[in-house]
Structure 1
Amino acid sequence: MSDSLVLLDTKDRVATITINNAEKRNPLNLPTVEALIDALEAADADDEVLVIVLTGAGDRAFCAGGDLKAGADGGPFTGDISQPGHFVIGLFSLMEKCNKPIIGRINGHAMGGGSGLVCACDIAVMASTAKIATPEVKIGLFPMMIMPQMMRVIPRRRLLEMYITGEPWTAEQALEYGIVNYVTEPDALDAKVNELTSLITTRSPSAVRLGKYSYHAMQDMTIEQQFRFAETMLPRIAMTQDAREGFSAFIEKRVPDWTGR
């Protein structure tokens, strides 16, 4: 439905999830985050989906961050202190655990929580006209909820500068600092995203799935723990149907017919 806060569209094995509130620059509040979680869970559970694209409606903003006007009723800066967990953390946790690669289609500015969403994606493509910032200090707050994801992507000194000054960075700076993979002109954004999804949908689903799982499992281990984990996972991947098909296709010089198993 066009009046939904979040849209989910599946085509050619790609699930596109759109934050659909362009008039307000696609902010995050409780109803929107709950809808994002529902859409991500549906896409992750759909065997026909091999890759997920996350974007925002319109061309002004990817996501403006926390909805300041939501107040105590659905705003991300408040919550029930008697209950563990927070709905924004629930979203980022789900993105971390998602079995499918998530590509961020950064169509416009990514502010506050929106910059956290960019970093929570596995791959990000940004329009050259977009900017990214964490301006929370300008209103007496600090970007706590998005810090875990951003610390894993952005170098320490750059991230602290971003948080402490609250100043925006251009798309080219975001590329230079490793926040996004590619920057394109706005009218070339879809072509680059489609190029990436076309590549991913021709790769082994089981290899991508188990590979992403392994990467996220190992990222906070010691190097010795990583060694032990890696040496148990490789034989597991090698025993999949996709691996056997991949070996056969390579020897027979043909295109693999993946089953995702």
Structure 2
Amino acid sequence: MSEPIAKSAEAEPVLLREDAGGVAWLTLNRPKQRNSLSTDLMLALTREIEAIGTDPSVHVVVLAGNGPAFCAGHDLKELTAARAEADRGRAFFEQTMQQCSTLMQAIVNCPKPVIARIHGIATAAGCQLVASCDLAIAVEGAKFATPGVNIGLFCSTPMVALSRNVSRKHAMEMLLTGEMIDAERAAEFGLVNRVVPHDALDAAVMQLAELIASKSALTVAIGKKAFYEQLEKPLAEAYLYASEVMVTNMLARDAEEGINAFIEKREPKWEHC
């Protein structure tokens, strides 16, 4: 049974959570608004991701959406309403972009891998959400876009996550044209890991989540942090950093157990330390 995490003026919980087998499913729950990222939803999702980061019972996070879409980006009606303020919305716009950036960084900084389960559309900040997740599985028929250029608002913040996941020319194509790409093209770009039939989506996501959850949580956390850290460094610094990480990792109990289990041809017994 999904548990409500936060409620907004809409009276319905904007985010749901369901835990099973070390996997936490977080479901965006604004289906009528195509799960657009309202202030309440971004705050609820950020808080939940940060809480999961310190929850030893959770090894993997799945991010999904209720209704016909994964996420249609920012709530443009909420943004437009702020224009009635004396500053024409500047303060609210600044708050919204900061809040969105905090959310995306919370996903990257979370020690637990985050898998996006994508159906329908993932556009603008919704596409940014996909790009910010560590892994992504999309259903056939899913669509992706950074369409801000079509409404006079370049997708500058989605660009940050997008350009760190796909090649420069693919990122620029999406950003400059604003056109939808299908799931297969998104896989070619590297935005998603794989594309599956609709009736296989949940099984594919769960299979991947359970496989990762079966590993040492400590090892996975070390690896996820190191992956993003080394990406931002020059080659020589990246190797120096990664070497230090490997030495620290080698001294962990789970590394000793895993190597011994491999030598002894048995299954390792993880203690996640």
The TM-score normalised by the length of structure 2 is 0.90
Q: State the SS of the aligned residue for 2:207.
A: helix
Q: Say if 1:255 and 1:229 are closer, same or farther in 2 by CA, change over 3 A.
A: same
Instruction: Indicate conservation of the 8 Å contact 1:175/1:181, yes or no.
Output: yes
1:239 corresponds in structure 2 to 251
2:105 corresponds in structure 1 to 93
Residues 1:207 and 2:219 aligned together: yes
Question: What amino acid sits opposite 2:245 in the alignment?
Answer: M
Question: What amino acid sits opposite 1:71 in the alignment?
Answer: L
User: 1:198-221, CA deviations, whole angstroms, 9 ceiling, x for partnerless residues?
Assistant: 211111211111011111111110
> Any gaps of 5 or more consecutive residues in structure 2?
5-11, 84-88
Instruction: Indicate conservation of the 8 Å contact 1:245/1:256, yes or no.
Output: yes
1:251 corresponds in structure 2 to 263
Q: Say if 1:99 and 1:74 are closer, same or farther in 2 by CA, change over 3 A.
A: farther
Instruction: Indicate conservation of the 8 Å contact 1:72/1:78, yes or no.
Output: no
* Distance in 1 between residues matched to 2:148 and 2:25, nearest whole Å: 29
* Distance in 2 between residues matched to 1:73 and 1:255, nearest whole Å: 58
User: 1:127-160, CA deviations, whole angstroms, 9 ceiling, x for partnerless residues?
Assistant: 1111001111111101112211111111111111
2:44 to 27, 30, 35: 35
1:68 to 62, 76, 95: 76
User: 1:10-58, CA deviations, whole angstroms, 9 ceiling, x for partnerless residues?
Assistant: 1110011111011111001211100111111122111010000011112
Residues 1:4 and 2:13 aligned together: yes
2:191 corresponds in structure 1 to 179
Instruction: Indicate conservation of the 8 Å contact 1:72/1:79, yes or no.
Output: no
* Distance in 1 between residues matched to 2:212 and 2:80, nearest whole Å: 41
Higher percent of residues as helix: 2
Instruction: Indicate conservation of the 8 Å contact 1:29/1:74, yes or no.
Output: no
1:112 corresponds in structure 2 to 124
1:14 corresponds in structure 2 to 23
Q: Say if 1:190 and 1:50 are closer, same or farther in 2 by CA, change over 3 A.
A: same
Q: How many residues align?
A: 259
Instruction: Indicate conservation of the 8 Å contact 1:116/1:149, yes or no.
Output: yes
Question: What amino acid sits opposite 1:157 in the alignment?
Answer: K
1:155 corresponds in structure 2 to 167
* Percentage of matched positions with identical amino acids: 37
2:9 corresponds in structure 1 to none
Q: State the SS of the aligned residue for 1:105.
A: strand
* Distance in 2 between residues matched to 1:89 and 1:197, nearest whole Å: 25
Instruction: Indicate conservation of the 8 Å contact 2:27/2:63, yes or no.
Output: yes
Q: State the SS of the aligned residue for 1:27.
A: coil
Residues 1:57 and 2:57 aligned together: no
1:103 corresponds in structure 2 to 115
* Distance in 2 between residues matched to 1:85 and 1:30, nearest whole Å: 10
* Distance in 1 between residues matched to 2:56 and 2:215, nearest whole Å: 15
* Distance in 2 between residues matched to 1:243 and 1:152, nearest whole Å: 30
TM-aligned CA deviation for residue 248 of structure 1: 2.0
User: 1:187-236, CA deviations, whole angstroms, 9 ceiling, x for partnerless residues?
Assistant: 11011101101211111211111011111111110001111101211110
> Any gaps of 5 or more consecutive residues in structure 1?
none
The TM-score normalised by the length of structure 1 is 0.94
Q: Say if 1:231 and 1:74 are closer, same or farther in 2 by CA, change over 3 A.
A: farther
2:55 to 29, 46, 63: 46
Residues 1:221 and 2:233 aligned together: yes
Q: Say if 1:4 and 1:211 are closer, same or farther in 2 by CA, change over 3 A.
A: same
Provide the alpha-carbon RMSD of the alignment.
1.9
Question: What amino acid sits opposite 2:109 in the alignment?
Answer: K
